[in-house]
Amino acid sequence: MSKKIMFQGTASNVGKSIIVTGLGRIFKQDGYSVTPFKSQNMALNSFITKEGLEMGRAQVSQAEACGLEPIADMNPILLKPSGNNKSQVIVRGKVVGDMSSPEYHEYKLELMNVLGDIFKEFEEKYDIVVMEGAGSAAEINLMERDISNMGMAKIADAPVILIGDIDRGGVFASLAGTMLLLSEEDRKRVKGVIINKFRGRKELLDSGVKMLEDIIKVPVLGVVPYSDIKIEDEDSVTTRFKKQMGINDIHIEIVRTPHMSNFTDFNIFETQEDVSIRYVDYGESLGNPDIVIIPGTKSTVDDLMFLRKNGLEEQIKELHRRGKLVVGICGGYQMLGKKLKDPYHVESDLEEVEGIGLLDTETTFELEKTTTQVDAIIDKDLNGYFANLEGKKVKGYEIHMGITDRGDGIKNLCTITEKLGQKVNYTEGSVNSECNVLGTYLHGIFDDIDFTRTILNNIREMKGLERIESKVKSFKEFKDKEYDRLADFLREHLDIDKIYQIMQEHEENNGQ
C-alpha cells in the first residue's frame, strides 16, 4: 500500500490546490511516484484528457507537477454550475446529467464505492497519493454524506492536514472552530495545520501559533507567505480578477461574464513583458484595448444577455468598428455569430437568439457535448492581425455543446490534423474577411508561444513598434520551472520532514 495524505481547508480558496501542487512536486523531486487526487471538484475551469474525458484544471496542474499525464480519475467527480440551482455532474470524465442540490445529495450514495475503487487503484500504483479536499472541512449540514473532505479521508483512511487563510482574517478562530465542529473520530485524523497567505513579520505571529497549538493539540506545520509564483488558480475567486496589470505596449481586456469558464486560456499573456491585462467585471466598461476577448462560458445565452443588458455588446461592436481585434473562445465564439439556435432547449427556453453579429456564423446547440484534444495547422490566406501564421502548429481542446456553421465570407483559422490521437482532416475556427474578428472552439490555443507572439508582434508593427521575442520560449517549460520554484518555496516554509513522518506513522499504525 502507498503512503497517503489529505489537505483540507477551513473554507474555499484558502490555497489547498497550490499546497497540493507544490507537495506533489516535492515528493517527485525526492524520488517517489506520486499522484494527485481530488474526489469532488466544483469549478467551471475544466480540461479534456487525451482520452476525451473532462476533469478539473487544478488537478491538471497537480499532475504536471507530479510528472504525470492528467487522467480523469485524478478528479473523478466534477460539478459545473449551470444556473437555476443546478450543476452538470461529470463522473470519471463523462456527463451524467444536470442535478439540483437535493438530487445530487441523493446521488452521492452511489458514488462512494466508485471513489473507493479508484483510490484503491491509485494506492496500488503509486508510492504516495496526495489528496485535496473541497470547500470547508466542517460543513456540518453535509457531513452525513460527505465525499469531499472527511468522508473521503475515511474512505481512503488518510491522515489530514488542515489549511487556514490568514489573509482573510480570523485564521486562529477558523482553524480552532473547524476542529471544534469535527467529530471526535475526524479530529483524530487531523495531524497538523498550515497557516497560508501570510503577509508581514512571522515573529509577530509566533505567540499566536503557540496558543493555537495548545488549543487544538496538533502542531502548526508552517506559515506560508504570499508569493509571486505563477501557478494556475483553482476557480473564479482568484485574486487575478481583482487586479489590473500595468500599462504596457499591448493592452488586452477580457470580459468577465457571470458564467465564465477556462480563464486559464489567458494565463500565457501574463508571461509576456509587453502585455497588460484587465478583466472587465460587472458594472465596468471596456477601455481602449488592442484585443478584447469574450471567454468560454457554461451558459452562452445567459452571458450573451449579460453583455447586451450591460452595454458591453455595443462597446465590443464599437471597438470592432475602430479596427481593434475581437476574439471569442468557445461560448464567446458562438456569441460573435449572427444566430444561436436552441431547438432542444439546452441553453434556455428560447428557440433562437440573435448574436452579436461580427461573424457570419450560426450555432445550433446539440444534446451531446464535444470533448476532444486536437492538433492543428494554421491555414493560409490570413492577413492583418493574423499575418505570418500560415503553417504554424497549435494544440488545444474542445468542450462545447454546439455546432457552428459558417457563411461564405468566413476564412478558416486552421485545419485539424489529429483528434484524440487519430489522423483527421477538417477545418476549425472562423476569421472575418477583414481579419480583425476571430472565433475558435480551441481552448489553450494561446499556450503556443509562437502563435501568440506572432499576433502580438503584428499588433506592435501596427502601432509602429519593433517586433520582439518572448523571453518565455515554451509555456510548458515555464510552468515546469514554476513548479520547481513552488517546491523550493514550500520546503522553506513547511516542515516537510514532519509531513513525511505523519504519512509514515499512519502507514505503520494502519499496518498493525
Rg (CA), the chain: 24
pLDDT tens for residues 260-281? 999 899 999 999 999 999 999 9
Q: Are residues 214 and 99 in the same domain?
A: yes
Say yes or no: 36 and 123 in one domain: yes
Q: What is the CATH number of the domain that holds 374?
A: 3.40.50.880
Task: Please answer whether residues 466 and 457 qualify as being in contact, where contact means their C-beta atoms are separated by less than 8 angstroms.
Answer: no
Q: Are residues 209 and 325 in the same domain?
A: no
> Is residue 92 located within the same domain as residue 165?
yes
Q: Give residue 418's domain range.
A: 250-462
50 and 143 in a single domain? The answer is yes
In a domain, 471, yes or no: no
472 within some domain:
no
Residues 435 and 369 both lie in one domain: yes
How many residues does this entry show for the chain? 512
- The fraction of the chain above a pLDDT of 90, given in percent, is 86
Distance CA 14, CA 8 (A): 9
Asked if 189 and 156 sit in the same domain, the reply is yes
Write down the catalytic residue from 251, 320, 330, 493: 330
State the pLDDT confidence band at 242, using cuts at 50, 70 and 90.
low
In terms of domains, do 496 and 426 share one? no
**Whole-angstrom distance between the N-terminal and C-terminal Cα of the chain?**
13
**Measured distance CA(249)–CA(240) in Å, rounded:** 20
pTM given for the model: 0.92
pLDDT for 461 beyond 60 = yes
- DSSP, collapsed to helix, strand or coil, labels residue 37 as strand
Q: Which CATH number does the domain housing residue 51 bear?
A: 3.40.50.300
- Give domain status of residue 470, yes or no: no
Q: Is residue 236 part of a domain?
A: no
346 shares its domain with 442: yes
Q: What is the pLDDT of residues 101-145, one digit of tens each?
A: 999 999 998 999 999 999 999 999 999 999 999 999 999 888 889
| Same domain flag for 140 and 41 | yes
Residues 290 and 428 in one domain: yes
Examine residue 473 and state whether it is found in any structural domain, yes or no: no
Indicate if 227 and 284 belong to the same structural domain: no
Instruction: Calculate the CA 72 to chain-centre distance.
Output: 14
Does 98 map to a domain?
A: yes
pLDDT score of 239 more than 80: no
pLDDT band at 235 (very low <50, low <70, confident <90, very high): very low
Q: Number of folded domains in the chain?
A: 2
What burial class does residue 451 get, using C-beta atoms within 10 Å of its C-beta: 0-12 exposed, 13-18 middle, 19+ buried? Answer: buried
443 is catalytic: yes
Domain-located, residue 177:
yes
Of residues 66 and 201, which shows the higher confidence score? 66
Residue ranges of E strands in 53-189:
54-56, 77-83, 86-91, 94-100, 128-132, 160-165
At residue 234 the predicted structure's pLDDT band, cuts being 50, 70 and 90, is low
239 in any annotated domain: no
Unique residue bearing C-alpha cell 475556427 = 429
Q: What's the per-residue H, E or C state across 190-256?
A: EEEEEEEEECCCHHHCHHHHHHHHHHHCCCEEEEEECCCCCCCCCCCCCHHHHCCCCCCCEEEEEEC
